[in-house]
Structure 1
């Protein structure tokens, strides 16, 4: 497995840290291969066969959850027949330190079960992608590429703050946030631009210590010459490394364009805002992708 400097930084922090990583989708050959490789590397990787299947234990774990009110025994049994749901209960009970799933299920199902069982730390769950250049010498964080379709102002603030924290954690670099738009500093008028600027105002008051600016078009956020041409007197000086997109449509499209046309490695979607570390896998994830996401999950649990 080839390691960029960013992956190496993460691996150096988590190898031999004894954090228990649970990969529940053991029927998928990619998960089997990733588990074997990670165990050889020094990770503590578990699957559900490492735990006794005690249905009464899992039902007891669920007993205080409001969402099961009025459920029949048959409904409970069906819910617990899902290996990912049982894994989240083990995480919630402290039997493991993090869970990584999604190789065989949708992001929507991963998030729904995670919110129900693990719970939300912030008001909202969102996601990021760490985009690593093909030369492996720089990385960007994109958010939110996977969860909230049309975030309101407060959600944009939450998305931006979590993205900044993750960028610092994963890269060791100070985040420089750009709130992106199709307009730069009032060059166009639209209610969606108003929403971005309102979010920017709230963010500035709540997190003045994080370098940020907006609203900016992508070229003005990443290229100093363009920023000057567009008269964007920005503190970012064309050096943004965290990009906050106005909606899920633009974010999801952009990360895939960056991945497939520019050759960047896309690590994610990494879920933010949950009470305990749960991360989602793309259903097209490779063995190396699974190892990378699992190492980030372990880092989250330190």
Structure 2
């Protein structure tokens, strides 16, 4: 069974409610049938019911089994308005602005997750990452002890002897352009949950990447990764993490033992933390294109409850898979 099939199977055992705020987006509507048929989740579409059903009929999408909620007519709309006002009044939000904001499906969806009306949220088929993240960070906020959100990719490399049977988690590849050492340490922590929950890794080992291994080069960029490693070890002593590592020292046992003797993870890493978004994004796409790796993501990490962002170029299958991952994490 493939990893994605395993994730769908795990999701089917949970029975989670996942809200999809882009209720008239065509690929989202086409994804409803496989989500329902495979019992991946109970999908909730946001928007005007007649408009959603009209679009579904026009494109031949079967949305049987999906719940439809119109934010303007929802019985808990007023409660959401009041809750948002209380959250944001110190930021200058008045009740009128709160009422208008709660009509925005992305904000309404995040409030549904916050108020336990849904277990998770999936959006981004027609919205930017920024638009998806903004309400999530204002309403749901980051997880306790975490200050920054990251976007990881599950990388599955065929016929690969490294990592977790060729499976890796790469982060951050999607969100934070130039993270601090403190944030990089947090990315290590939140990536472990992704590796365990979604990849089934029973022994996650984290490599903090650089162009240097254990001081082989001297530069402020190297210093940042060394500092990030030290912070991760101090703040999260349960993690198996080390660095700074060049990629070969992180992945290849012979190289790891030579360049970083005595390290508990060198040559055995299955989670790779990149120094910035340039490196992370380039790294996962090189693996995808040159090693023919399957790249699953981005998976948003660090939010207090599961919210995931889709690519605007996503397929129906992508939406189904991201809903499954969100359900598993819920």
Task: Determine the structure 1 residue equivalent to 2:11.
Answer: 14
**Once the two structures are superposed, what CA deviation does each residue of 1:132-181 show, in whole Å capped at 9, x if it has no partner?**
23469531001111222211121111111111222112122111110000
Query: Structure 1 residue 125 and structure 2 residue 177: aligned?
Result: no
SS at match of 1:114: helix
CA–CA distance in 2 between the matches of 1:81 and 1:130? Answer: 34
**Once the two structures are superposed, what CA deviation does each residue of 1:190-218 show, in whole Å capped at 9, x if it has no partner?**
01111111121222233333222211111
**Once the two structures are superposed, what CA deviation does each residue of 1:105-145 show, in whole Å capped at 9, x if it has no partner?**
11122111110111222222222111123469531001111
Query: Structure 1 stretch 81-90 or stretch 220-229: which is displaced more?
Result: 220-229
SS at match of 1:64: helix
| Count of residues in correspondence between the two structures | 298
Query: Structure 1 stretch 55-64 or stretch 216-225: which is displaced more?
Result: 55-64
CA pair 130-67 structure 1, distance change in 2 beyond 3 A: farther
Q: How does 1:94-243 map to 2 (within 5 A)?
A: 94-121=116-143, 122-134=146-158, 138-173=166-201, 174-228=203-257, 230=259, 233-243=262-272
CA RMSD of aligned residues (A): 2.2
Tell me how far 1:67 sits from its aligned partner.
Answer: 5.6
CA–CA distance in 1 between the matches of 2:283 and 2:103? Answer: 37
Task: Determine the structure 2 residue equivalent to 1:40.
Answer: 37
Unaligned stretches of 5+ in structure 1? none
CA–CA distance in 1 between the matches of 2:193 and 2:183? Answer: 15
Q: Output the TM-score relative to the length of structure 1.
A: 0.90
CA–CA distance in 1 between the matches of 2:288 and 2:84? Answer: 40
Tell me how far 1:296 sits from its aligned partner.
Answer: 1.1
Q: How does 1:67-82 map to 2 (within 5 A)?
A: 69-71=91-93, 75-76=97-98, 78-82=100-104
**Is the Cα–Cα contact under 8 Å of residues 131 and 264 in structure 1 kept in the other structure?**
yes
CA–CA distance in 1 between the matches of 2:93 and 2:19? Answer: 27
**Is the Cα–Cα contact under 8 Å of residues 151 and 174 in structure 2 kept in the other structure?**
yes
Q: Output the TM-score relative to the length of structure 2.
A: 0.83
Query: Structure 1 residue 247 and structure 2 residue 276: aligned?
Result: yes
CA–CA distance in 2 between the matches of 1:59 and 1:76? Answer: 5
Task: Determine the structure 2 residue equivalent to 1:86.
Answer: 108
Unaligned stretches of 5+ in structure 2? 50-67
Tell me how far 1:262 sits from its aligned partner.
Answer: 2.0
CA–CA distance in 2 between the matches of 1:272 and 1:100? Answer: 13
CA–CA distance in 1 between the matches of 2:21 and 2:44? Answer: 8
**Is the Cα–Cα contact under 8 Å of residues 92 and 117 in structure 1 kept in the other structure?**
yes
